Structure 1
């Protein structure tokens, strides 16, 4: 069962704000991994794509609801395998999101963690970023700089996922 957040400040849950601690912690870990890797400016859309893809991976892989208490180092191999190039990450995200939604429905309470994860997933699916075309066959003259090669519009998750994977490796 996923950690759904803490109720208010007194723990009673009497209509107070539910804090999405699981998602916020996953996003914090993803942000720190990407900043440590120093792969791109933290203000860029590419950074956001990497952070959101990695945060989704971290959040959705927490099947026991232990994320805020989890040691990051103990999870690195899991996150690496989930973000590997040959894995159907987007299918895994869709399946896990459906499972998490079903769990939230069973519990009948608010699921602010899930709402934030769904918003991140929507952004990753619906946003396209202009990125180097890694499938382009070099032709003609040499490419002088990284901005000079062919570019294609790419779904944000397809750009963010390898960035997240690389950031884990660099950690």
Structure 2
């Protein structure tokens, strides 16, 4: 994890800590989602995708890995068959236990809480059991989903379209 910066105090105590790692992850997520142009910026879906992708980028942070390898890793973490929520919980717990969280960890935990606790009425992305294989999602059939369940596929698809 990159060290946190301060507001010009050169890292001395008493300065305001700036969550640079989180802000960079959020900026990158915003750029990817805007470039994909799948949903309108500012919409609930967009915010869910932004938080899901920013969390993935932030928690999978490995500054030694080349950029292409990082994108592949983000794609793996956001894939449909991956257990993303347990991975997020595990990584957040690891950061808390290491004691190196600071304001980056606080923002990441807030994003996760919002994704987990906000529910959105949307098409059933898991589809019906008796659905036609050519059209597994009936957009007219809506259910309540936690925001991460809508944001994660949006993040994944946006990464593919980058």
Given the alignment, which residue of 119, 122, 125 partners 1:128? Answer: 119
Given the alignment, which residue of 72, 81, 86 partners 2:76? Answer: 81
TM-score (norm 2): 0.87
Which structure has more relative contact order (CA 8 Å, sep 6+)? It is 1
Given the alignment, which residue of 138, 141, 144 partners 1:150? Answer: 141
Deviates more, 1:5-14 or 1:31-40: 5-14
Following TM superposition, the consecutive aligned residue runs of length 4 or more in structure 1 with deviations greater than 6 angstroms are none
- 1:150 to partner: Cα distance: 1.3
- Asked if the contact 1:4/1:20 (under 8 Å) is kept, the reply is no
Tell me the matched-pair count: 155
Q: Does 1:100 align with 2:95?
A: yes
* RMSD, aligned α-carbons: 2.1
Structure 1: give runs of 5+ residues left out of the alignment.
Answer: 140-144
Structure 1 residues 71 and 41, CA gap change in structure 2 (3 angstroms): farther
Matched position secondary structure for 2:38: coil
Structure 2: give runs of 5+ residues left out of the alignment.
Answer: 133-137
1:41 counterpart residue number? 40
Matched position secondary structure for 1:153: strand
1:142 counterpart residue number? none
- Asked if the contact 1:20/1:113 (under 8 Å) is kept, the reply is yes
1:159 counterpart residue number? 150
Matched position secondary structure for 1:154: strand
- 1:13 to partner: Cα distance: 2.2
TM-score (norm 1): 0.83
1:9 counterpart residue number? 8
Q: Distance in 1 between matches of 2:77 and 2:131?
A: 31
Structure 1 residues 4 and 117, CA gap change in structure 2 (3 angstroms): farther
- Asked if the contact 1:4/1:111 (under 8 Å) is kept, the reply is no
